Structure 1
Amino acid sequence: MKDKILDKSTEMFLTLGFKSVTMDDIAESLGISKKTIYQHYKTKAALVEAAVLYLFDSICNGIDFICEASENPIEELFHIKKFVSEYLKDDKSSPQFQLKKYYPKIYDRIIWKQFEVMYDSLKENLEKGIASGIYRPEIDIDFIARIYFSGMVSVKDTDLFPSSTYIPSVITEKFLEYHIRAIATENGLKILNEFINENNN
């Protein structure tokens, strides 16, 4: 039952938002009493934290699979962006900044976990790109990995980029293209342009 509660609440939090989903809503959707949920999760905040960690682990597993299967570092980044965007239902909401607004302590914990994982993954991506002649050899790997993470977090800030003007999944793709154009060699730019043209047709 604990796993069912976690699965359903995670889905509802992503679709409807961390703030608007109540314990009553979750209980009703599962056809159980609210008391049953509280037997497994003492507070809504505890359930939110469990859901966020569950999401984090699921996304990390998906990213690992993409990194193993991708043909080159540029495609890898686009496939990861698409996977994460679809998994987090980014076209409908910005769950990351709902979390920051309503559950800041949980947000602070998860953002550093994200940084640790993304930093290592990005360094590996950059190293592969340099080795294959797709990224420029003189780039500062540590700086680029950090600035990329910072940018990806910032473009999800709905105060900076209001959802009435910017679709979250579109703006992350724009930032990704901006990032690659800043570090790519001529060969890398050719691969990037071909990839964009193929996926826009």
Structure 2
Amino acid sequence: MEDENEHKIHIRNQALQLFMQYGARSVSMDDIASAVGSSKKTIYQYYTDKDHLVGDAIEQILADNGTQCRTFHQISDNAVHEGFLAIGQTSELFRNMNPVLINDLKKYHPRVYKKFVDYKNEFIYEIIVENIRRGIGEGLYRDDFNIDIIAQFRVGSIDILFMPEFYGRLKEGLFHAQLEIFYFFLHGMATPKGQKLIEKYKKHKPKNSSDAKD
């Protein structure tokens, strides 16, 4: 059973790399079989079809991201620190991600896309609200704005990144775009005390690990 699970994980991970690089539509089961080094018949022992495999790969990303977000909340020194840890992890994800992937999910894998949308609109929204409240309590964020509206705005900014009319005009790609949006968002909320921390972490970015507080 352990070997069987390891093989399934290997298939999922290899497929995910291909989906991240090329999108979901253009990657065939033959491509995945070639990357895994096995036959399609073997893959179908674990996955009923491509939609099943796409779903498993994306769900794993969401699960890992959720775990990391909770960890960053626990190990961070303050709300700004927590934000930088989270954006650091997201940056690594976006560095190797073809933005067409999300649009492929929307068009060809609606069940999987709905899970992504629900995760973003529910879990990520709550994480942002918690961070804002924490930052206000720490005196790092202002307290003169509507938390719900600003949190919804931040969630909405994620959607903008995957709009073809947006990313198609970018010169530096998603990696830099999402950083700029994050900085803009953070500066808009920050008090003078928070602004100093933002500049500190921009110059010396925290590591995404359990020693991030060092």
TM-score by shorter chain over 0.5: yes
CA deviations 1:169-191 (Å, max 9, x no partner) are: 11111111111121111111121
Aligned with residue 154 of structure 1, among 142, 152, 160 = 160
**Quick check: 1:168 aligned with 2:174?**
yes
Cα contact 2:142–2:191 (8 A) shared by 1: yes
Deviation (angstroms), 1:129:
0.3
Aligned with residue 138 of structure 2, among 132, 143, 152 = 132
When normalised by structure 1's length, the TM-score is 0.88
Q: What is aligned with 2:95?
A: 90
Cα contact 1:152–1:175 (8 A) shared by 2: no
**Quick check: 1:188 aligned with 2:194?**
yes
When normalised by structure 2's length, the TM-score is 0.84
Cα contact 1:96–1:156 (8 A) shared by 2: yes
Q: What is aligned with 1:67?
A: 73
**Quick check: 1:47 aligned with 2:59?**
no
Q: What is aligned with 1:24?
A: 30
CA deviations 1:80-122 (Å, max 9, x no partner) are: 1120221x34355223344334434421332112221111111
User: What 5-or-longer segments of structure 1 have no aligned partner?
Assistant: none
Q: What is aligned with 1:11?
A: 17
CA deviations 1:129-162 (Å, max 9, x no partner) are: 0000000112211111111100122123232232
Distance 1:108 1:26, change over 3 A: same
Moved more, 53-62 or 103-112: 103-112
Q: Read off the aligned partner of 1:93 and give its amino acid letter.
A: N
| Residues paired across the two proteins, number | 198
Aligned with residue 147 of structure 2, among 141, 145, 151 = 141
Moved more, 70-79 or 140-149: 70-79
Moved more, 97-106 or 27-36: 97-106
In structure 2, C-alpha distance between the alignment counterparts of 1:78 and 1:157, rounded to whole Å: 24
Identity %: 27
